[in-house]
């Protein structure tokens, strides 16, 4: 039967996944490598390009783990996304950066550090990476304002820091898709997050910041939200595309933590959630890439993140831990066919 990437390709869409650098969720696991080769045409490293991974110190870069993933993508003829040049939240910056001494001219020093980081990564993967999450999660979900970190404080403003990252990426990687990536989604309680993202995207257009697409992470929470929220979500996406942004689904999975434990009914609800979501999203011709945040339940970040009280395994990926496709797989396949 056709793979997800075949079904997506028939509609001009690429399907792919995040992959890890080590452990069962990595390209080193032969069973997972086979699954990725069968189902995917684009990959992204789950952690191996983050500052935490490649910046052991202010002066050093360590690309070893990411290079292995890039090599796997090259050998298997898969496209490669870059995630991320700036995860602009203190919690996800390397420890040294939070305590870094920027010296007597902090704005200049911070700008130099940021630009050098972007230039170095872009130059190294020139021609290999087709799309970058240049900036990840700088809008605070609680109130929609922009996060401050040691880097933005030294620069003087978050806008200045974020704009610099995009301008530098455009110069260093011309022709590569530049993405702002965030996790606002259609569940109740996300309105201020979405508003903040819209304000940020408007600001990019006003200032001429080179941003091509909004990365919609799509860590969905089952079950399907009611019709009013779904309409609100559509209005949000409509506003994004009206500002001439493309769309990328960058990190799809479904959190089933709040569902009753019974597996067949849980899997059904996860599938229904995905089906409703993709029916909506595949209506947008601006959506060209769909990536899952891992393919197999056992290796999903969801196993570690807020585990269920009953300790049952999270079942938010397309494949179960025995590498069997689940109803959510069929739902996505069908959504591609019907798109
Ligand atoms: O590899 C080290 C290991 O050497 C060390 O012993 C161990 C001890 O903590 O940590 C391991 O690193 C962990 C890494 O995942 C690899 O497993 C980090 O602690 C852990 O914080 C890290 O979590 C990742 C998280 O981002 C933070 O970077 C998740 O795997 C990853 O799935 C998650 O991905 C994010 C996206 O980047 C942005 N959008 C949300 C998404 C889900 O949270």
Ligand 1 atom, smallest distance to 250 CA: 39
Considering the domain boundaries, does residue 17 fall inside one?
yes
Q: pLDDT digit string (tens) for 293-336? A: 999 999 999 999 989 999 999 999 999 999 999 999 999 999 99
Q: Would 332 be classed as within a structural domain?
A: no
Q: State the closest ligand 1 atom to the C-alpha of 84, by its place in the atom list counted from 1.
A: 37
Which tens digit of pLDDT belongs to each residue from 34-60?
999 999 999 999 999 999 999 999 999
User: With pLDDT > 70 as the criterion, what percentage of the chain qualifies?
Assistant: 100
Give yes or no for residue 218 CB within 6 A of ligand 1. no
Question: What pLDDT sits at residue 297?
Answer: 98
Asked whether residue 191 is domain-assigned, the answer is: yes
**Of all protein residues, whose CA lies closest to atom 12 belonging to ligand 1?**
47
Quick check: is 52 in a domain? yes
Q: Give the CATH number, domain containing residue 85.
A: 3.20.20.80
CB of 301 within 6 A of ligand 1: the answer is yes
Any domain includes 266: no
Q: Where are the alpha helices (DSSP H) in the chain?
A: 4-9, 30-39, 51-54, 64-75, 95-98, 106-124, 150-155, 158-172, 191-207, 227-242, 263-281, 327-338
Tokens matching residue 211: 């941003």
Q: Is 251 in the pocket of ligand 1 (CB under 6 A)?
A: yes
182 lines ligand 1 (CB under 6 A): no
pTM over 0.80: yes
Q: Check pocket membership of 48 for ligand 1, CB cut-off 6 A.
A: no
**CA 118 vs CA 51, 53, 75, 104, 306: distances in Å:** 11, 15, 25, 23, 33
CA of 53 to the centre of ligand 1 (A): 10
The total of structural domains in the chain comes to: 1
Residue 325 lies in a domain: no
300 belongs to a structural domain: no
User: 302 CA distance to ligand 1 centroid (A)?
Assistant: 11
User: Residue 225 sits in which domain range?
Assistant: 4-258+284-294
| ipTM here | 0.95
pLDDT at 68: 98
- Does some domain include residue 60? yes
> Per the structure block, which two tokens stand in for 294?
């891992």
Q: What's the pLDDT tens digit per position in 201-235?
A: 999 999 999 999 999 999 999 999 999 999 999 99
β 14-19/129-136 pair status? unpaired
**Which pLDDT value is given to residue 317?**
98
């Amino acid at each position: 039967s056709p793979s997800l990437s075949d079904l997506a390709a028939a509609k001009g869409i690429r399907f792919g996944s995040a992959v890890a650098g080590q452990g069962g969720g990595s390209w080193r696991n032969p069973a997972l490598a086979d699954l990725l080769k069968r189902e995917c045409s684009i990959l992204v490293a789950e952690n191996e390009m983050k500052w935490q991974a490649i910046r052991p110190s202010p002066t050093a870069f360590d690309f070893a783990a990411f290079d292995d993933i890039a090599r796997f993508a090259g050998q298997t003829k898969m496209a490669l996304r870059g995630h991320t040049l700036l995860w602009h939240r203190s919690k996800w910056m390397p420890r040294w950066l939070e305590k870094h001494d920027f010296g007597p001219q902090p704005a200049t020093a911070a700008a130099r550090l940021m630009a050098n980081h972007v230039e170095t990564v872009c130059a190294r993967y020139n021609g290999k990476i087709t799309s970058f999450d240049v900036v990840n999660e700088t809008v605070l979900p609680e109130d929609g304002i922009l996060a401050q970190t040691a880097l933005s404080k030294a620069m003087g403003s978050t806008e200045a820091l974020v704009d610099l990252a995009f301008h530098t990426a455009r110069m260093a990687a011309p022709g590569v898709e530049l993405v702002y990536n965030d996790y606002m989604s259609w569940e109740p309680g996300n309105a201020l997050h979405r508003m903040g993202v819209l304000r940020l995207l408007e600001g990019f257009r006003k200032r001429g910041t080179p941003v091509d697409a909004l990365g919609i992470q799509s860590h969905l929470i089952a079950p399907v939200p009611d019709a009013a929220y779904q309409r609100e979500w559509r209005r949000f996406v409509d506003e994004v595309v009206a500002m001439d942004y493309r769309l990328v689904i960058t990190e799809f999975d479904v959190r089933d933590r709040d569902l009753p434990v019974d597996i067949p009914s849980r899997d059904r609800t996860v599938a229904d959630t995905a089906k409703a979501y993709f029916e909506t999203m595949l209506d947008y011709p601006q959506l060209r890439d769909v990536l899952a945040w891992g393919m197999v339940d056992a290796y999903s970040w969801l196993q570690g993140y807020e585990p269920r009280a009953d300790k049952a395994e999270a079942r938010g990926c397309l494949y179960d831990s025995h590498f069997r496709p689940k109803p959510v797989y069929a739902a996505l396949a069908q959504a591609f066919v019907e798109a």
